[in-house]
Structure formats: C-alpha cells, structure tokens
Structure 1
C-alpha cells in the first residue's frame, strides 16, 4: 500500500491561512476508475482512495505511516516568495 504525504495547499478562493498548516496522508489509487454504464459516473471499488488522514506536522504523518507499514513519499512544499512593492509602483 503506497501513500503520499503533502501539506494542504491554500484554496484559490481563500485569502486567510486557515487549515494550511495541516499535513495530509492520502493513499494512491489501487485500481483505475471506470464509468458506470447506467449513470455514467466514474468510480471504483478501491475504498482506500476515499481516505484522507490529517496530521499537525510532517513528522507525525511519517511516524503513522511507518508504524502501520505504509510506504509513503513526502511532497515538499516549495518556498514562498513575496514580491514587495509600493502602491505607487503601479503607476510608473
């Protein structure tokens, strides 16, 4: 069973920093999704794909994966760079 650990990204509709300090452990899909012949919805029999575990930090998520024998890979968060400029720079 494989999983990935990543930090929750900020939503495009979100201006604050609520819930962006959480780390998520998600399982990789074990089988491909297929279309339902009656409704056309996509789905699969893999119930692990629905599981999202939340942790306060990366070390806790890695410890959980190691304790339960889950091979997990960590996706690092790219550093944020702020472009500081004055309002008057918009009119130059």
Structure 2
C-alpha cells in the first residue's frame, strides 16, 4: 500500500491561507477506474481512494505511515513567491 504525504495547497478561490498548514496523507489508487455500464460514471472497488487523513505536521504523518507499514512519498511544498507591485504599476 502506497500513499502520498503533502501539504494542503491554497485553493484558487480563496484569498487567505486557512488550513494550508495541515498535512494530508492520501492513498494511491489500487485499481483503475472504469465506467459503470448502467450510468456511465467512473468508479472502482477501491475504498482506500476515498480516505484522506489530516495531520498537524509532516513528522506526524510520516510516523503514522511508518507505524502502519505504509510506504509514503513526501511531496515538498513549493516556496511562496510574492509579486509585490503597487496600484500605480497598472498604468505604466
């Protein structure tokens, strides 16, 4: 069983940084999704894909994965880059 540990990204629709300090452990899909013959919706019998665990730090998430024998890959968070400009820059 493999999983991915990453920090929650900021939503494109949010201006604040609420809940971006949380770390998530998300399981990799065990089987491919296939269309349902009746409805056409994509689905699979893999219930682990629905589970997303939240942790306060990366160390807690890694400790959980080690304790339960889960092979986890940590995805680093890209650094924040601020584009500082003033309102007057729109008219130059």
TM-score range, shorter chain: over 0.9
Deviates more, 1:12-21 or 1:31-40: 12-21
SS in structure 2 of the partner of residue 54 of structure 1: strand
User: Partner of 2:67 in structure 1?
Assistant: 67
Q: Which 5+ residue runs of structure 1 have no aligned equivalent? A: none
SS in structure 2 of the partner of residue 62 of structure 1: helix
Residues 1-92 of structure 1: pairs in structure 2 closer than 5 A: 1-92=1-92
In structure 1, how many angstroms separate the alpha carbons of the residues matched to 2:90 and 2:71? 49
Q: TM-score, normalised by structure 2?
A: 0.96
Note the C-alpha offset of 1:86. Answer: 1.8
Note the C-alpha offset of 1:59. Answer: 0.7
Q: TM-score, normalised by structure 1?
A: 0.96
SS in structure 2 of the partner of residue 26 of structure 1: strand
Q: Which 5+ residue runs of structure 2 have no aligned equivalent? A: none
Note the C-alpha offset of 1:88. Answer: 1.5
